[in-house]
Structure 1
Amino acid sequence: MHALYNCISQYHPISIDAWEALAKALTRVELPRNAFLIQEGMVCHNLYFLEQGCLRGYYNLDGKEITYWFGFENNFITSFYSFISRKPGVENIQILEDATLWGISYQALNQLFDFYPDLERLVRIINEQYYIRLEERLMGMQFKTARERYEQLLETAPHILQRVSLGQIASYLGISQETLSRIRSQV
């Protein structure tokens, strides 16, 4: 839980009372490789902090898995659409490496907001950062070449090649595995 406290402090400081209340509301979750944190058609009831491990978010489209994000240590994880709207999601979140997460339910988090405005501000800032990354990803997919997207991935997350399959990386970049192999041989 120390990693979570350090991560939170980088976004926005919270009071000791708020941290203690948050810590009491958190549940430790350990999941093995290939397990699912959430599957399409389910309502996501929790927001998670990934302490250890790697996972991915993907959609199924005509029987094909379309990976659209990866999560690594010190990332906040949820099916944002489902968590916020309280409706069934259309995404799957799969564990790629044995994972340790800390989860808090939607209800518990909202109850904490009533007593600790600094927690509400913290989550707003986290959501803003998520939105910025989402918009950057959208712009990259629209305006960058496959090679530029690959080079950006290497620049921002070089460890990804050791932790994620090439097929999933290709899907994330919106290219075929053959195109990814060609790009990798040129870089």
Structure 2
Amino acid sequence: MNNRLGTGAIIAAVLGLAVSHVSAETAHILWKDLRPATQAIAEDANLPMIAAKLPDHGETLSLNLQDKAIQLAGYALPVDRDGDLVYQFLLVPWTGACSHMPTPPPNQIVLVTPAHPYKMKEAYDPVAITGVLQPGMEKSQLFILDGVSIVQSGYTVRRAEVASVDSVPDTVTLPVNSPWSFLNKKKN
């Protein structure tokens, strides 16, 4: 029996090394890394930044991140849920995007399928996702108060690890005089 425990400890140690090896190669990215350097950021495009205001409609993707393990923080907007369990969500760079305000460009939206259902407290929970980034346009149906909206995302992360975070480092904060400023997440 001691031999079994020894083997189990060795397997656990090897798995632990494999996990730490993967996390060492994970790139912590910001939203700006998902768009061309020449594309206006939200503050420069007369907030909110929307695809219609951009020459390429925000469809230019960062292909240098293809198949890379990344970590990105943003706000989760459920696409597929059952009660408080979310099976798929859109990760967006600011609160209110897609449902209360115009949709960001596709290169600023990530369609996320968690490895395990994510228990969401409320829409626009700040979260960090970790997984392999795949560029490619994908459409999702988003059910909002006044009907259904079709949202195009420029990236997907499947089997993502999802963790709650207190804040999003590069979030766009809506101006105080914006009618949507109530959507700004408070820092605890």
Max Rg structure:
2
Q: Comparing both structures, which one devotes a greater share of its residues to strand?
A: 2
Q: Comparing both structures, which one devotes a greater share of its residues to helix?
A: 1
Give the structure-1-normalised TM-score: 0.29
Give the structure-2-normalised TM-score: 0.28
Point out which structure has higher relative CO (alpha carbons under 8 A, 6+ apart). 1
